[in-house]
Structure 1
Amino acid sequence: MKKMFLPMLVPALLGVSACTPSNDTTTSNDDSAKSMATASNFDDVYNSISDADIREPLKVLASDEFEGRLPTTEGEKKTIDFLVSEFKKAGLKPGNGDSFLQKVELMEITADADMTMTIGDNTFAYKKDMVASSKREQNTVSLENSELVFVGYGVNAPEYNWNDYEGLDVEGKTVVMLINDPGFENPKGGKFQGTTMTYYGRWSYKYEEASRQGAAGAIIVHETAPASYGWSVVANSWSGPQYGLVSKDKGASRVAVEGWLTLDAAKKVFSDAGLNFDEEKANAMKGPYNKAMDIAASVTVKNTFKKSESNNVIATLEGSEMPDEHVIYTAHWDHLGKDESKEGDQIYNGAHDNATGTAAILAMAKAYGELTPAPKRSVSFLVVTAEEQGLLGSKYYASNPVIPIENTVANINMDAMNVLGKTKNVAVVGMGKSEMEDYLKSAASKQGRTLTQEDRPEAGYYYRSDHFSFAKQGVPALYAEGGNEPADDETAKYRKRMNVIVTGCYHQVCDEYREDWDLSGIVQDTQMLFDVGVNVSNAEAWPKWNETSEFQRAY
């Protein structure tokens, strides 16, 4: 999919300012966001969305019985059976012909944990200092004394006049690169979009670009702040079974080895190469940069792999007047499964990420099923697999859409929703991108809330969830969630207390359902996004991307 990204988006990016979008972004289509709900019982249905509608499926999905919802496991079977049962109860029809399922062909590759990486005189331990894997369908994949080349941020972005690979031939070599993009730690340099991450800052882009450049290996240096997550997330997420979509070339077009180094390990490597890491990083921020390191890496990845099938789940409420046109809600049902090598708790329950969004989409489906009459356009609910492995379920859907892309009006995404109580504001992820925000502004104002930019645009969350797969296809995609301003003093106290408990649980076994969670914030956001979807499904015109967005639909 990444090969499609540059030709689709570069022309639009040429007009993008390097500045962060303003929080008060509006568009000329603001009138289109006025309430258009035609259902006679809209208000009753809106107000009926309750804590119980979300809490009950949340408890089920995050239970130990579902084993962390890893694709292709017994946990998947239990999950999709539950989802299909709930959609049927809501009165929805199968979204894929006579089936609620869309088969997704996955290639599961598991690297043997008994590996080390040698760079110069240093030997680095798996998960402690480094992780390495391969997307190639080979039993053994090796780098043998592969020459290292530092390529700065590993970015080739013509629209920003930036190419870290310029003048390089990296065939057979291993590239070493920084995480995020050049704007993150040098926002005053006017590069990219300042502290707001672009897609060039994502790890997925960096491996894909290294592959296009012909490198044998690609290693990313981890740093917590620019990555927006700690090393434990890397160690947990890039070890164990790794999934990709089935490819015709069996992964041959990918670099042989994809890896990460901790910051401490990287500093040792640079020092052994006679380089100062901090100085080289500073050079990489200033402009396109690369340098031979005169040091080599060796690692052997022993793979077991198997082809498997997972499932996206799709359900549809047929539109009353324009049934061929669809508004699509998305959430991902999957998480990380379990790690039987761990002592004690072995299950990554994924309660917040993303049993919350999956439970909310079921509450949303129930609400739509109660509208009389149904919205003018069809509304579909797509609950995808393998998001944690690189948005694979939504990528597969975008390449093999059940509903033609040209009939897909808009996408609304629901991921890791707010368990910290009601808020006065709504955090818009990727603020300023489309007219979907006009509908959101209207829905939020009914709740007395205002739109603000997400807390950490530098983390690049717009490129890290399933709506991104739709955006790349030109479909206006909205991702918004409860903000950081508690609704009242009691909520502020609760929020402070709960933050202490849940902080650090992202992709950890402690991401578990808690009976004392205040789900009123999820109810609030579910009602708001219900309002958005109903109005988009009844509007005369389709929403558009804003002119400054890097995404555009070919109208």
Structure 2
Amino acid sequence: MNKRLSSCFWVFSLLCVVSGAVSAASPERFKGHMMLLADDLLAGRDTGSLGHDFASLYIASELQKMGVSPGGDNGTYYQVVPFKQSTLDMQSPRLVVSNGNESVEFEFMQNMLMSADINSESSSVTAELVFMGFGIDAPYLNYTDYEGVDLNGKIAVILSDRPHDFPSEEGSHYRRLISESLVEHGAVGVIVVSTPVSESVSPFEKRKLYVKTPSTRWLTKEGSVFNGFPQIKGSATLSIEAGKTLFDMAGIDLEAIFEKVENNEPLTSRPLGLTATIEKQSVLSETTSPNVIGIIEGSDPQLKDEYIILTAHSDHIGVSQNSVLKDKINNGAMDNASGVSTLLEIAHEFHHADSKPKRSIIFAFVTGEEKGLLGSEYYANYPTVPIEKIVANVNLDMPILTYRTNEIIAFGATHSSLESSVSETLLKNEMKLIDDPMPEQAIFVRSDQYSFVKQGVPAVFLVPSLAADVKDALGVSPQTFLAKHYHMPSDDLNLPIDYDWAAQFVEINYAIARDLANTPITPSWNEDSFFSTLGANK
């Protein structure tokens, strides 16, 4: 246990919620978890903060009281994740583009943004610019932006978008690999140009709010930054208008390129005849933050060596730095104290069950989800059991428990045998599995299950229905929550949380996990699923 964790004990002893001995899911016990995890005292549970350490200590203590065995490092509940953080010197960013006749310096925080460099305190690069379309290399989809273009030693200019005929989940997966593709082809920098689509999803003005937030990555056992890509010496993001200025300098109409994107016409990668200088200064630091891991050993002599891993992220986004609101603490009641509380109660159910599950169950409360799925990614790369023995992942992230429904979404279920398993369990419990209502948002690759999917583990991400016709007598529908409370200080205990429904949601998820643990057939990917190819080297 690290020093910050041990320093929490004296406060913890005053606030500990004692678990009862009742086997059924308890609204009161669920509320007790929420009262602590979403309290102002924890200051939003930011990764690496004392508040998150306190939450982790609470979770570990609850597992200890239930008799769930430690599943972390060195016989403890903790897998301490080492992080490197980098904060941008706000006076330092500079981007100058020249066509030989004129130079344009783009204005930081006006029409140009940068983030901190995770590798170096001082970074600078001057190189030629090459338009690289979307910067995507997707062999599974028979698509590449890199054919016939020399990017070695150059700065890539890419659009913040993807081909609109890409399947959403596969397309999102390949967009996450852009930095890797750029490095493989020799790029030394990248300038990302906003598009009408990216502007509608994540407005440039909103992205300004996150510039001061430290960049965070986890460190490998060898001490290097995982996916730090030190070959990229400079990066910047331009607004649509700034992008037009850059392309005008090259004699190219950016609107015509946008029109091609809209019509799914191919883009032509090519040199722009421009050079750019990108400079910035960053402040580097290191910290740690724990995953909390518990295990219930299975009872079947053969199946106990297979594991179902249940996950929920315990971190949130901390205290707002740029908010004009009086309340700046982002308590994260629904995101994700509700998921953590659900998982704790599922552990309680397993502990008090009449019989043990046949497969072993891992309860993983992971850190750093809000920083980019970092804690789950660390665990998936350094699992405390053999990764090939983890046969399924069920993830709980932001179940909004302010309304009732008899419908459940299992993001990613259509890719594996988990779809039929989850559907059968729900039907037995008078619930119904419904289709992903927003496939264009590629939710399946945006929460912690994706870290396990990349390692070849079939996974689902379970939430109550987000259907537009769900009505909440207490006044907070899922749409209202997402529009007004998501990642805001108002995601707190003042929401009308339905604790009786929360207990029912626990029972549903316990039944799903129990049935997965007891089925004689090992979960598997569908043969025609793209994601079945990701764990080929397991």
TM-score (structure 2 length as normaliser): 0.84
CA distance in 1, matches of 2:192, 2:27: 42
Matched ranges for 1:209-358 at <5 A = 209-222=181-194, 225-226=197-198, 228-231=201-204, 234-237=207-210, 239-246=212-219, 251=228, 253-284=230-261, 285-287=264-266, 289-322=268-301, 323-340=304-321, 342-343=323-324, 344-358=326-340
Q: Are 1:82 and 2:58 matched, yes or no?
A: yes
1:76 partner letter: H
CA distance in 1, matches of 2:413, 2:236: 32
Query: Deviations 1:424-462 (Å, cap 9, x if unpaired)?
Result: 422231341011111210122234333222222121211
Give the aligned partner of residue 462 of structure 1: 444
Q: Are 1:484 and 2:456 matched, yes or no?
A: no
CA distance in 2, matches of 1:49, 1:67: 28
Structure with the bigger RCO (C-alpha within 8 Å, sep 6+) is 1
Match of 2:180 among 201, 208, 229: 208
- Alpha-carbon shift at residue 501 of structure 1 (Å): 5.6
Match of 1:376 among 358, 374, 388: 358
Going from structure 1 to structure 2, the CA distance change for 1:375 and 1:257 (only over 3 Å counts) comes to same
Give the aligned partner of residue 416 of structure 2: 434
CA distance in 1, matches of 2:315, 2:110: 26
Where 1:274 maps in the other structure, the secondary structure is: coil
Give the aligned partner of residue 198 of structure 1: 170
- After superposition, the CA RMSD in angstroms is 2.9
Structure 2 gaps, min length 5: 1-21, 98-102
- Alpha-carbon shift at residue 220 of structure 1 (Å): 2.9
- Alpha-carbon shift at residue 244 of structure 1 (Å): 0.9
- Alpha-carbon shift at residue 529 of structure 1 (Å): 2.0
CA distance in 2, matches of 1:487, 1:161: 39
Query: Deviations 1:535-554 (Å, cap 9, x if unpaired)?
Result: 11111121111111123366
- Alpha-carbon shift at residue 347 of structure 1 (Å): 2.7
Give the aligned partner of residue 19 of structure 2: none
Q: Which moved more, 1:284-293 or 1:357-366?
A: 284-293
CA distance in 2, matches of 1:505, 1:231: 20
Going from structure 1 to structure 2, the CA distance change for 1:77 and 1:135 (only over 3 Å counts) comes to same
1:275 partner letter: I
Q: Which moved more, 1:226-235 or 1:461-470?
A: 226-235
TM-score (structure 1 length as normaliser): 0.81
Going from structure 1 to structure 2, the CA distance change for 1:150 and 1:522 (only over 3 Å counts) comes to farther
- Alpha-carbon shift at residue 199 of structure 1 (Å): 4.6
Q: Are 1:149 and 2:130 matched, yes or no?
A: yes
Give the aligned partner of residue 179 of structure 1: 160
Give the aligned partner of residue 114 of structure 2: 132
Give the aligned partner of residue 525 of structure 2: 545
CA distance in 1, matches of 2:186, 2:169: 25
Q: Are 1:113 and 2:90 matched, yes or no?
A: yes
Where 2:369 maps in the other structure, the secondary structure is: coil
1:313 partner letter: V
Query: Deviations 1:164-205 (Å, cap 9, x if unpaired)?
Result: 01112223322222334213xxx4xxxx32xx2325466532
- Alpha-carbon shift at residue 115 of structure 1 (Å): 3.6
Contact 2:406 / 2:432 at 8 angstroms: preserved in 1?
yes
Contact 1:444 / 1:451 at 8 angstroms: preserved in 2?
yes
- Alpha-carbon shift at residue 91 of structure 1 (Å): 2.4
Query: Deviations 1:478-535 (Å, cap 9, x if unpaired)?
Result: 11211234797x5378355x74465154334443333423356644443222111101
Contact 2:116 / 2:215 at 8 angstroms: preserved in 1?
no
Give the aligned partner of residue 49 of structure 2: 73
Going from structure 1 to structure 2, the CA distance change for 1:258 and 1:460 (only over 3 Å counts) comes to farther
Going from structure 1 to structure 2, the CA distance change for 1:174 and 1:365 (only over 3 Å counts) comes to same
Going from structure 1 to structure 2, the CA distance change for 1:426 and 1:458 (only over 3 Å counts) comes to same
Where 1:69 maps in the other structure, the secondary structure is: coil
CA distance in 2, matches of 1:74, 1:56: 20
CA distance in 2, matches of 1:526, 1:124: 52
Going from structure 1 to structure 2, the CA distance change for 1:147 and 1:83 (only over 3 Å counts) comes to same
Going from structure 1 to structure 2, the CA distance change for 1:548 and 1:288 (only over 3 Å counts) comes to farther
CA distance in 2, matches of 1:125, 1:55: 48
CA distance in 1, matches of 2:274, 2:489: 38
Where 1:470 maps in the other structure, the secondary structure is: helix
Query: Deviations 1:394-419 (Å, cap 9, x if unpaired)?
Result: 11111111011122121100111123
CA distance in 1, matches of 2:26, 2:197: 37
Where 2:208 maps in the other structure, the secondary structure is: helix
Where 2:370 maps in the other structure, the secondary structure is: coil
Going from structure 1 to structure 2, the CA distance change for 1:331 and 1:493 (only over 3 Å counts) comes to closer
CA distance in 1, matches of 2:513, 2:425: 10
Give the aligned partner of residue 59 of structure 1: 35
Going from structure 1 to structure 2, the CA distance change for 1:378 and 1:197 (only over 3 Å counts) comes to closer
Where 1:348 maps in the other structure, the secondary structure is: coil
Query: Deviations 1:53-95 (Å, cap 9, x if unpaired)?
Result: 4333223222221122122221222121111122223221111
Give the aligned partner of residue 344 of structure 2: 362
Match of 2:372 among 367, 387, 390: 390
CA distance in 1, matches of 2:197, 2:352: 45
- Alpha-carbon shift at residue 133 of structure 1 (Å): 2.7
- Alpha-carbon shift at residue 339 of structure 1 (Å): 4.2
Where 1:347 maps in the other structure, the secondary structure is: coil
Going from structure 1 to structure 2, the CA distance change for 1:75 and 1:177 (only over 3 Å counts) comes to same
2:193 partner letter: V
2:415 partner letter: K
1:255 partner letter: I
Contact 2:407 / 2:433 at 8 angstroms: preserved in 1?
yes
CA distance in 1, matches of 2:305, 2:43: 37
